A and B are shown apart, each in its own frame.
Chain A
């Protein structure tokens, strides 16, 4: 009975050492503490953030997405970094997507969160990295399992002449929120092709600005190829920044303009 007893003591020591070391490691060595345990994290760390930047995993950045996504062409994702307080920008990316970057947004007055839909090529972590005023990046994420293929299929729009007539058309609506403030949802007609389907060049929304009717910016959105076709965005406006009306403007990578008044 002696040996098991000794082993148990050794194990206990090892465990308590592990626990003591963990919180510090989470800060200094994010390579080894990825909560999503992705073999691509080391590459992501290098590609997505400036060398020397402080990058921490932080549960206050919440990414909500279905654990299993049936339709890889249209995977709903929402990001909520509200628990961090003020946030400068948020970068959303997926480790295993052929085009890793999905969307980058600056909540300049809007709530630091965004709802949108994406295309995924295979099962992958979907992460949001929020940069706070001190320059550090707070990373949250969720695994999404999918059969995939969403990035290498042509958009349905690319085979239909319909979108050409309606390209850039915006439908939108504003709701009052029970918790105070308002919610703006908008949908833009755009085929969004990734450039990875044979013979169809990349065609996607590059810049969007949501502003109030006086022109004060509320949210800047920089889109990349993996955003889903006919994108839908959900933006919340805190009570202090609501306005009589809103407007959205922007362009795609071919220079087509998007401009619409969002009426209440």
Chain B
């Protein structure tokens, strides 16, 4: 999840000045994400974030992270939105096992999924190649933007780019047989992880559950194709990137229905000559009202995606009637 990075020179220097202040403040005020891992399968724990936007009150904890305690060490899936989150995640793990963290996977390059990397040994960090590039290129501006959205929860956070590039395919760690599934559509690289030993599918942000999907780097047709593929994996338990854990494909279908509606609505609006302010005035239909923050995400998606639909409708190659 990401918002467009916008930082002026002024905010950059403000951030620099305040970082020191926040760091000092942190020693006095102990901010606590209240992380409580829930066991969802053998060896497998999930930490469910809130179905909200980033805010000063949630400190960016709107994301699901997870860990699997294998015989050979712990595999962590996503490190959370801040250094503080990463540190508290690591302490939560240490309360449940004395095994070392062996591997930290960043499912994609949105800030709530990798800004906790600092809390883990650099040698454990791994991601798909395009995710590594994304963190390397955009990590700084994504981090600055998170300071603006989550405030002093971000104290001391710096982006850390994973050093180890992952490839799709089987990965055996200890007594767990993982399948790394390389997809895209939510971003240019979206890693899903199927633990064949437990049947748990960690879908990253390809799947949202009862929370409207975010789309700053989305390509909707690719994303829909990725969802089709995930549905065929034969999982028993589904861990979405945002929203509650499920035991069926409901969240996959819900995410696909939203993306299909969004795609169709924006295409029709562009073909009918809607100005962007008119597209913003459209209300998502009742079936999507149960999705948290649906109005706000719809407005963001229009801003992010409508210009491309518009351009297609205005260009000569559009194949007009």
Chain A residues proximal to chain B, CB less than 8 Å: 64-66, 68-74, 76-78, 115, 117, 121, 147-150, 152-153, 171-173, 175, 183, 185-187, 232, 234
Known pairs A73-B4, A153-B8; list 15 more (Cβ under 8 Å): A64-B281, A66-B299, A69-B303, A71-B4, A74-B303, A76-B277, A77-B277, A148-B8, A149-B6, A150-B6, A153-B6, A171-B316, A185-B275, A185-B314, A186-B314
Partner of A147 from B6, B299, B314 at Cβ < 8 Å: B6
Partner of A74 from B148, B296, B307, B313 at Cβ < 8 Å: B307
For A117, the chain B residues whose CB sits under 8 A away are 276
For B300, the chain A residues whose CB sits under 8 A away are 70
User: Would you call B311 and A171 a contact (CB within 8 A)?
Assistant: yes
For A175, the chain B residues whose CB sits under 8 A away are 272-273
Q: Which of B294-321 contact A (CB under 8 A)?
A: 296, 299-300, 303-304, 307, 310-311, 313-316, 320
Q: Tell me whether A70 and B3 are in contact in the complex, defined as CB-CB below 8 angstroms, given that A152-B9, A173-B313, A173-B314 are known contacts.
A: yes
Which residue of chain B has its CB nearest to the CB of A115? B275
B135 to chain A, nearest CB (A): 21
User: Would you call A148 and B299 a contact (CB within 8 A)?
Assistant: no
A-facing mask of B144-185, CB < 8 A → 1, else 0? 000010000000000000000000000000000000000000
Measured as residues with beta carbon below 8 angstroms from the partner, the interface class of chain B is 20 to 34
For A70, the chain B residues whose CB sits under 8 A away are 3-4, 299-300, 303-304
Chain B residues proximal to chain A, CB less than 8 Å: 3-4, 6-9, 11, 148, 272-273, 275-278, 280-281, 296, 299-300, 303-304, 307, 310-311, 313-316, 320
For A68, the chain B residues whose CB sits under 8 A away are 296, 299
For B313, the chain A residues whose CB sits under 8 A away are 173
A133 to chain B, nearest CB (A): 27
Which residue of chain A has its CB nearest to the CB of B6? A149
User: Would you call A73 and B314 a contact (CB within 8 A)?
Assistant: no
Partner of A66 from B6, B272, B278, B280 at Cβ < 8 Å: B280
Q: List 21 A-B contacts (CB under 8 A).
A: A64-B277, A64-B281, A66-B299, A69-B303, A71-B303, A74-B307, A76-B275, A76-B280, A78-B277, A115-B277, A117-B276, A121-B8, A148-B6, A172-B314, A173-B314, A173-B320, A175-B272, A185-B273, A187-B310, A232-B314, A234-B273
* Alpha-carbon separation in the docked complex, A234 to B272 (Å): 12
A214 to chain B, nearest CB (A): 23
B50 to chain A, nearest CB (A): 20
B68 to chain A, nearest CB (A): 35
For B311, the chain A residues whose CB sits under 8 A away are 171, 187
* Alpha-carbon separation in the docked complex, A141 to B300 (Å): 22
B295 to chain A, nearest CB (A): 11
B311 to chain A, nearest CB (A): 7
